[in-house]
Structure 1
Amino acid sequence: ERSGDHRELFLAAVKAKKNVLLEKPMAIKPSDVKAMVAAGNRAKKAVMVAQCIRFWPAYVLLKEYVSSKELGKCKSLILRRQGGKGLWSPWYFKASTSGGAIYDLHVHDTDFVNFLFGKPKAVSSIGSIGGTTDRGVDHVVTNYYYPKSKVEAVTAIGAWHQHTTWPFTMGYTAVFEHGTLDFDLPRAQPVMLYTDEAAQEVEMGATDGWFEEIKYLVNCVEQGEKPSLNMIASTEISMRIVRAELRSIKSGKVEKVK
């Protein structure tokens, strides 16, 4: 479904007392997000936004290392997500219905940064307008600002204006005090752990974030519980971060996350 239709469909499903898995992005318009958060908070059933990267095995591993500090403090993180123009449904090419790459693609990494470290104090972004959509941000590079005691540098790049034959890529490089964890989806061995002593292959298994998020929500439904891993309120913060990125692209300045 088109991203611009999310509010109408979500509110109808909640009103009908359905369990809901809502495709990302939550919504493009701030007023839609506000209405959806209010409805989600009132919902009697399980509702969740499909931010699948929170469930993707390589990113789950990164979250575990950040939380456990097994490799020491995470000093820096670079996230990458890029795709070709593709031959998608026509609505993808209109910023009013897809939001451009910043909302439909890059939002995955912004959401995961929020999931890892919480809401940043501010962001600075540069971006390219159009190229795939009519007037959306189709290439974005963002720095997320946190207290140095939490993480020293976090950057994400997202784009879908490469030419059609460009293969979809996603990954990250996380530098910890005692090792570097690197994920590159197209690589023969996608996840590697590098230390001063050795380079180690990390096996992840065959599952993916799409399957795991659905499995998680189904389990919540069966147990009569509301999802805690991907709450509506947390996703709403991710949308606020994206809007700060858009303001930064427009102003050319560092923008606070409101």
Structure 2
Amino acid sequence: MVKVGIIGAGFMGGMHAECYNNLPNAKLLAIADIDLIKAENLAKKYKVKAYQKPENLFKEEDIQIIDICLPTFLHKEYVIKAAEAGKNILCEKPIALTIKDADEMIEAASKAGVKFMIAQVIRFWPEYVKLKEIFDNKSLGKMTSISCVRLSQTPTWAWDKWLLDSKRSGGALVDLHIHDTDFLLYLLGKPISLLSVASKSSLKYSHVFTTFLFSDDVVAFAEGGWDMPDNFPFTMGFTANFEDGVVEFNSRYQKSLAIYRSGEEVEYPEVKIELQASAETGGNISDLGGYFSEIRYFVDCVENDKMPTLASGESARDSLKIVLSELESIKSGRLIKL
């Protein structure tokens, strides 16, 4: 039984708590948040201890995993503290706001000999897992292009409105759009070049459009924005073109995943949902499927003493590096060769 402490009792902390609650080989022991009332409310739901100071979790010898669900600008501080306390670490994405901070976090975990994973959840999301399977087994031939989209209401629900402050979150570019940049790297490797633009808005980098060129002449496009009206439903999806067909995913469709082949009936693959539950914590996603899969994976890694290679700190740093190259392109108006 792997024992867990969560830092951060907000939207994502609630999502993660519900996942641990549904895992047979994990036990949530405590939750910490600077807002003690929030920590107590979430802790009460799972009958665990509540703390105001995260450091109290580090002192609990039984805790093997520290799950960091804090604003991005706080990731470095608490990842390093958790590593120095000898705890394995699951940290929310993005890893950090700078490559320097990311490197220091990776180094701290390596020096302490603890497992360190960044919760790049799209690598575990069922429809994206299916696309990776189709890509790897070449059942539709070679991929020629892929277009990704991720659109959200303006995230006014976050503590102290930190998501709306680009200095603390990096804007939609670093917090939201990085999901698709990370998945593209996971699928296709490092791009050869990219060109990014951002729409003009009072919120910095709130809607981003990037075209990537990958090896084998694969063209990718990714759009990410959180400047949608408050009644606009959260939307994520992709259209992946292969030599012998197209795979389409749209989170707003009842049959969310479809495979199109010329002259054949449309195929709607069954997507395995690992957990159908809701943490009921607000925010833009209520389905726990992908979150459950990533957390189960990390718990299994800790239990079986395996490194979390599917979403390592190093791969998260690499994704951040590409996103920061996108920022360079936005600022300069130039194509960036990588």
TM-score per shorter chain, which class? over 0.9
CA contact (8 A) 2:155 2:164 kept: no
Over 3 Å counting, the alpha-carbon distance change for 1:59 and 1:96 in structure 2 is same
Instruction: Please list the CA deviations of residues 182-233 of structure 1 after superposition, one character each: whole Å capped at 9, or x if unmatched.
Output: 0000101000111111211111132321000000000001101111111111
- CA positional deviation for 1:128: 2.4
- CA positional deviation for 1:42: 2.8
SS of equivalent to 1:201: coil
Provide the C-alpha distance between the structure 1 equivalents of 2:110 and 2:190, rounded to a whole number of angstroms: 20
Provide the C-alpha distance between the structure 2 equivalents of 1:124 and 1:43, rounded to a whole number of angstroms: 39
Does 2:204 align with 1:174?
A: no
Report the TM-score when normalising by structure 1: 0.94
Which residue of 1 is the match for residue 49 of structure 2? none
SS of equivalent to 1:166: coil
Over 3 Å counting, the alpha-carbon distance change for 1:121 and 1:42 in structure 2 is farther
CA contact (8 A) 1:86 1:164 kept: no
Does 2:273 align with 1:206?
A: yes
Which residue of 2 is the match for residue 122 of structure 1? 193
Which residue of 2 is the match for residue 247 of structure 1? 328
Provide the C-alpha distance between the structure 1 equivalents of 2:200 and 2:102, rounded to a whole number of angstroms: 23
CA contact (8 A) 1:40 1:232 kept: no
Which residue of 1 is the match for residue 168 of structure 2? 97
SS of equivalent to 1:165: coil
CA contact (8 A) 2:93 2:120 kept: yes
SS of equivalent to 1:189: coil
Q: Which moved more, 1:78-87 or 1:122-131?
A: 122-131
* 1:143 aligned residue (191, 206, 211): 211
Does 2:230 align with 1:161?
A: no
Over 3 Å counting, the alpha-carbon distance change for 1:41 and 1:85 in structure 2 is same
Which residue of 2 is the match for residue 217 of structure 1? 298
Report the TM-score when normalising by structure 2: 0.72
Sequence identity, in percent? Answer: 38
Does 2:82 align with 1:4?
A: no
Over 3 Å counting, the alpha-carbon distance change for 1:156 and 1:76 in structure 2 is same
* 1:52 aligned residue (89, 102, 121): 121
The aligned length equals 252
SS of equivalent to 1:31: helix
Q: Which moved more, 1:164-173 or 1:82-91?
A: 82-91
Provide the C-alpha distance between the structure 1 equivalents of 2:201 and 2:311, rounded to a whole number of angstroms: 31
SS of equivalent to 1:170: strand
Provide the C-alpha distance between the structure 2 equivalents of 1:229 and 1:28, rounded to a whole number of angstroms: 21
- CA positional deviation for 1:129: 4.8
- CA positional deviation for 1:80: 0.6
SS of equivalent to 1:198: coil
Does 2:311 align with 1:230?
A: yes
The structure showing larger relative contact order (alpha-carbon pairs under 8 Å, at least 6 residues apart) is 1
CA contact (8 A) 2:106 2:116 kept: no
Q: Which moved more, 1:190-199 or 1:84-93?
A: 84-93
Which residue of 2 is the match for residue 184 of structure 1? 250
Q: Which amino acid aligns with 2:179?
A: H
